[in-house]
Amino acid sequence: MKIINNYQVKSKKRVADHGEVLTAEREVNAMLDLVKQEIERIDSRCLEPACGNGNFLAEILCRKLKIVQKYYNSNHNDYVKYSFLAVTSIYGVDILSDNVDECITRLFDIFINEYSAVFKNMPFDDCQQAILYILRRNVLCGDALTMRTVDGSPIIFSEWSFVTGDLIKRRDFRFDELLQGHQKQRTIFMDDWKYDDEINAYIPLPMREFPPIPYTMVQNYD
């Protein structure tokens, strides 16, 4: 499947205003190869803070879905669950809303095309709605420098984690606090934050926590 758009510049104005020069396929692959093992872990979370129309995120999703196909293509429930998990692990921010829309559509199309290639039909409607909901919550329009959306509110990312069976849990975190947790110095504002040895960072308190829900029903969270 061709997943990389073959243009790097949309307009001179966009280059001047936003430094928008999109990365070519060869460079995307070469860079992702540097972190190949991490990328190929279905649940390893990836955030691109200036994701453009998704050249990196699209290739990351393709690589993860290849792994899902390799291990789970003989079991429909497992395939859907693990490809869903792959989608939940991908995050992006871009300051231009048309890039965000394009990126979401691209990632959604990749999920649909890969599923159709394996099962020769379309995923159920609730599954499609759930995937779209996750993508809209994970790929956000905002300023990655101020870590705020265009209306000035903090960028909030949702963490998705399977708890038992098909139940998934959502916790919302402020982007700026997630980054603050990586600082060596602990401040008074981080009093209740817990240290995570695996990622060597403090985990902030979530802004909101939601009860576990079957993963194909996540769209009912709002």
Per-residue b/e over 181-219, b at no fewer than 16 CB within 10 Å? beeeeeeeebeebeeeeeeebbbbebeeeeeebebbebb
Give CA 63 to chain center in angstroms. 14
Least Cβ distance, residue 57 to ligand SAM (angstroms): 8
Least Cβ distance, residue 95 to ligand SAM (angstroms): 4
**Given the complex with ligand SAM, which of 2 and 120 has the nearer CB atom?**
2
**Given the complex with ligand SAM, which of 19 and 211 has the nearer CB atom?**
19
Q: Is 25 helix (H, G, I), strand (E, B) or coil?
A: helix
**Cα(154)–Cα(170) distance, rounded to whole angstroms?**
18
**Given the complex with ligand SAM, which of 59 and 114 has the nearer CB atom?**
59
Least Cβ distance, residue 177 to ligand SAM (angstroms): 18
**Given the complex with ligand SAM, which of 94 and 177 has the nearer CB atom?**
94
Least Cβ distance, residue 202 to ligand SAM (angstroms): 24
What residues line the site for ligand SAM (CB under 6 A)? 18-23, 48, 50-52, 55-56, 93-96, 99, 143-145
**Cα(110)–Cα(62) distance, rounded to whole angstroms?**
7
